[in-house]
Amino acid sequence: MEVKSERTEYLFPKLIDEACKLKEKFGAGGRFLAGGTDLLLLLDQLNEKPKALIDINRIPELKTFTISDSLVTIGAAVTYNEILENNELCQQLPFLEKAIRSIGGVQVRNMATLVGNIANASPAGDSLPALYVLKAKVCTTDGTNQREIAIEDFILGVRKINLKPNELISHIKFKLPKPAFHGEFEKIGLRKAMAISLVSLALLISLDELKIDEIYIALGSVAPTVVNVGGLDAIIGKPLNQKTIAEIVAIAANNAKPIDDVRGSAEYRRMAITGMVKRSLNKFIDKN
């Protein structure tokens, strides 16, 4: 008896509209491919082979990367290393640079994209906490209509995103924070490099006359999606000292409600959050 093997088509549209039409045509059987550093590993775990891989790298608009009037726009086919080559971005946002440099090795960063990290919607996506505190918007298109969605409303759960069947993510955008802001990024894993994060943290803070003016903290790898720490309004207007740091640490640890999994217990994660928040805020005090 002849066994028919299902082939996966490899397609490379040159227009956004064409890519969206292909996605609509293949439905759940069609997968966009950017760097492929998540997708190609995932293929082995899928019950069914995809009918089509739709490579988006030949669509010129998706390679757009601009900083204009403090607005940063990063296209879906822009790789991590292309972002790291931008001195302005790295100077203005060293904490985002640190987050990106922590992802994989040089070879992975040569292929992989920031948008792929978002679309993959893993709780351990290391760029995500930084994008949450920057209040990044995810911009989608079906070739005709565009949507702009706050990142926390776009990532709905583990590998669940707010994307329609005929849409792709075209780019992300966010405003550069004012110079008064200081950002930090930290992550810990079971080893120092090439490891899935156990906890990651991004923090943005600004002071006004030595009092806390604004503060945002996001935690990764502690829940199905990144946790935007709420309740920090309570410390606005207070001086940044060891007493307020203890208050912030308690708010972050209570907010996170960390998970137990194979990489670490909830208790370990809670202790890690405590240490990471404390260390990040003390670094800021040392700089002032």
129 binds ligand FAD (CB under 6 A): no
Judged by CB under 6 A, the number of residues near ligand FAD is 31
Q: Which of 74, 100, 103, 204 binds ligand FAD (CB under 6 A)?
A: 103
Alpha-carbon distance of 197 to 213, in angstroms, equals: 30
Q: Quick one: which segment of 117-125, 146-154, 223-231, 245-253 binds ligand FAD (CB under 6 A)? A: 117-125
* Torsion from C-alpha of 51, 53, 54, 55, nearest 10 degrees: -170
**Residues 145-204, interacting with ligand FAD (CB under 6 A):** 163, 168-169, 194
Parallel/antiparallel/unpaired status of strands 30-33 and 52-55: parallel
Q: Which is nearer to ligand FAD, 115 or 251 (CB)?
A: 115
126 binds ligand FAD (CB under 6 A): yes
CA dihedral sign of residues 86, 77, 177, 226? negative
37 binds ligand FAD (CB under 6 A): yes
116 binds ligand FAD (CB under 6 A): yes
34 binds ligand FAD (CB under 6 A): yes
Q: Are 87 and 185 in contact (CB under 8 A)?
A: no
| Residue in 134, 108, 143 with CA at minimum distance from that of residue 38 | 108
138 binds ligand FAD (CB under 6 A): no
Alpha-carbon distance of 185 to 211, in angstroms, equals: 22
| Residue in 184, 196, 206, 213 with CA at minimum distance from that of residue 275 | 184
Q: In what order do the strands lie in the sheet with 146-150?
A: 65-68, 71-75, 168-175, 137-141, 146-150
Q: How far is the CB of 91 from ligand FAD (least distance, A)?
A: 23
Q: Quick one: which segment of 25-33, 142-150, 233-241, 280-288 binds ligand FAD (CB under 6 A)? A: 25-33
113 binds ligand FAD (CB under 6 A): yes
Q: How far is the CB of 130 from ligand FAD (least distance, A)?
A: 11
- List residues near ligand FAD by CB under 6 A: 31-39, 41, 56, 76, 102-104, 108, 111-113, 115-117, 119-120, 124-126, 163, 168-169, 194
